[in-house]
Amino acid sequence: MDMNCEFRGIGMTSQRTRERLVQRLIQEGISQLAVLDQIRDIPRHLFVDEALASRAYEDTALPIGFGQTISQPYIVARMTEALLAGGRLKKVLEVGTGSGYQTAVLSRLVDQVYSVERIRGLLNQARERFHRLHIRNVHLKYSDGGWGWPEHALYDGIIVTAAPLEVPAPLIEQLAIGGRLLIPAGQGGAQQLLQITRTGASTHESKVLEPVRFVTLRGGTE
Ligand code: SAH
């Protein structure tokens, strides 16, 4: 298969299959065209194991090894849309690179993405994917992202793709004033997606968007 064909997809990874996913997301309330365009364009089948490629354009989370999952397209779209609704973003921090799919979506919509992952095997696979897809504005770090990535702070936006019980304070501290943090938080069965806006040096506002189900944000690295 030549490269072009591999990115564009055939059969269950074809443009037609992707268009069905986009239509479904529109029905579910995703309305930002820039976000929908990325979901249509980015080859999600290259972010999962080949054996799962035929399911890559279903609106579902899929296993990526190491006990982790690639997020459901609806959730990726919803979080990206909420993050971008505040206006154009220059610098965004992502905690939980995982497969790199959410990272790739962000890379097309903001200037620079800083992404932190605590599982080395996943980070290395994601790095290879970015290379293959010629994505050059993503910066990766192997570390516990509960501490953020202080060296590059402040961020215009932060997106967290694993759920802590409570929002880690360093993430709010690394947000620029007016910046948004999208983060799932709470116990397994009762997580909520939160949108936190930093309103001042020591103030922020928090809004509950919807119930979600994410893997747990864990401390340390492996
Ligand atoms: N956005 C990713 C989601 C992967 S699942 C995707 O769509 O593929 C969540 C990821 O968060 C996992 O890869 C997990 O290893 C990572 N993670 C969990 N706790 C973390 C932490 N404290 N710091 C960095 N990454 C973390």
Chain length of the chain:
222
Contacts of 6 (CB under 8 A, 6+ apart): 43, 46
Q: Predicted confidence band at 8 (pLDDT cuts at 50, 70, 90)?
A: confident
Question: What is residue 143's DSSP assignment?
Answer: S
From 1-15, 70-84, 98-112, 120-134, the region with the lowest mean pLDDT: 1-15
Nearest protein Cα to ligand 1, atom 11:
96
CA-based end-to-end distance of the chain: 35
Q: What is the pLDDT of residue 14?
A: 85
Structure tokens at 53: 């490629």
Residue 184 has pLDDT above 80, yes or no: yes
State residue 29's pLDDT score.
97
41 close to 21: Cβ distance less than 8 angstroms: no
Q: Whose CA is nearest to atom 2 of ligand 1?
A: 98
pTM strictly above 0.85 = yes
Minimal CA–CA distance to 25: which of 15, 35, 16? Answer: 35
pLDDT at 3: 54
CATH class (in words) of the domain with range 65-211: alpha beta
The Å distance, Cα 2 to ligand 1 centre, comes to 31
Which is the closest atom of ligand 1 to the Cα of 119? 15
State yes or no: pLDDT of 58 exceeds 50. yes
- Distance between CA atoms of residues 54 and 35, nearest Å: 22
Rounded to whole angstroms, the Cα distance separating 135 from 7 reads 13
Q: Which of 217, 221, 222, when mutated, tests ligand 1's pocket best, judged by the most ligand atoms within 8 Å of its CB?
A: 217
Please, is 153 exposed, middle or buried when counting C-beta atoms within 10 Å of its C-beta (0-12, 13-18, 19+)? middle
Closest CA to 38 of 73, 12, 69: 73
Q: Ligand 1 in contact with 123 (CB < 6 A)?
A: no
pLDDT value, residue 5? 64
The residues annotated as belonging to the active site are: 71
Q: What is the mean pLDDT of residues 210-214?
A: 95
For residue 4, the model assigns a pLDDT of 60
**Which residue is it, tokens 């037609």?**
16
From the CB of 69, is ligand 1 less than 6 Å away? yes
Is residue 192 a contact partner of residue 173, using CB atoms and an 8 Å limit? no
Q: What is the CA radius of gyration of the chain?
A: 16
Average pLDDT value over all residues in the chain? 95
Q: Residue ranges of the domains in the chain?
A: 65-211
pLDDT tens-digit map of 12-49: 778 899 999 999 999 999 999 999 999 999 999 999 99
Cβ of 77 below 6 Å from ligand 1: no
Give the DSSP H or E segment for 121.
Answer: helix 120-132
CA of 171 to the centre of ligand 1 (A): 15
Instruction: Identify the band that residue 1 occupies on the pLDDT scale cut at 50, 70 and 90.
Output: very low
Q: What is the per-residue pLDDT across 104-142, written as a single tens digit (0 to 9) for each?
A: 999 999 999 999 999 999 999 999 999 999 999 999 999
